[in-house]
Amino acid sequence: MHKDVERILYTEEELRRRVKELGAQITTDYAGRRPILASVLRGSYIFMADLTRAIDLDVTVDFMAVSSYGAGTVSSGQVEIKKDLSDTIEGRDLIIVEDILDSGNTLYYLMDVLRARRPASIRICALMDKPERRTKPITADYVGFTIPDAFIVGYGLDYAERYRNLPYVGVLKPSVYEK
Ligand code: IMP
Ligand code: MG
């Protein structure tokens, strides 16, 4: 285990199993359709790679990047689109793939922006959900794991751009960000 990690929350194996289940659920729910999976970078990149391979449909993928955090552990509430989707989504079934739904700021803003482009449908698939921290009225349609209020890293999730490469999801030692 990494020295900055307090404890492992989900092992590689647990993540693998749950992502497979999410993929199977999406495959069933979207049978006969061709959804666009839109990954919100950077935190969801590993989840996205595994999730798309667990979906047995004629999907397409797209990517966008937003920022709201800086180097802190709490959302600034300010959301900025750093990179937009490449494809048009009008009339398409869109599934937004996020790493964590925390305060809800990011997705609340993003949903507004994307809805205005008139897709046929929009759903949110979040690997992690921290409902206790929510300040905006937003829920995910697909959730990998519901977790308590702790700052987690690994499997794509970072603190100040570090730890994304850890194969598991772990709770970061508070001493790392309280310095
Ligand atoms: P929200 O706008 O507060 O819902 O924050 C969403 C974004 O904050 C996520 O997409 C993550 O990038 C980041 N985030 C929130 N909680 C954590 C965490 O525990 N670890 C790493 N990133 C987090
Ligand atoms: Mg993110």
- φ/ψ (deg, to 5) at 115: -60, -35
**Interval 40-64 mean pLDDT:** 98
CA distance 151 to 148: 9
Looking at every residue in the chain, the average pLDDT score rounds to 94
Give the residue, by CA position, lying nearest to ligand 1 atom 17: 151
| pLDDT at residue 73 in the model | 64
For residue 26, the one-letter residue type is I
Q: Tell me the pairing of strands 152-153 and 169-172.
A: antiparallel
**Alpha-carbon distances of 13 from 22, 48, 85, 150, rounded to whole Å:** 14, 16, 31, 21
The helix/strand/coil state of 99 is: strand
Tell me the CA–centroid distance for residue 41 and ligand 2, in Å. 6
pLDDT score, position 172: 97
Judged against a pLDDT cut of 60, whether residue 71 lies above it is answered with no
**Domains of the chain, residue spans:** 12-150
* Closest by Cα among 96, 66, 98 to 79: 66
Catalytic residues: 102
* pLDDT, average across residues 48-63: 98
Structure tokens at 16: 């693998």
Q: Name which CATH class applies to 12-150.
A: alpha beta
The conformation of residue 132, written as its DSSP 8-state character, comes to G
Q: 174 — phi, psi (to 5°)?
A: -55, -30
**pLDDT in the model for residue 179:** 75
Residue 129: both structure tokens together? 């959900």
For ligand 1, pick from 4, 40, 100 the residue to mutate: most ligand atoms within 8 Å of CB.
100
Are 138 and 153 in contact, with CB atoms under 8 Å apart?
no
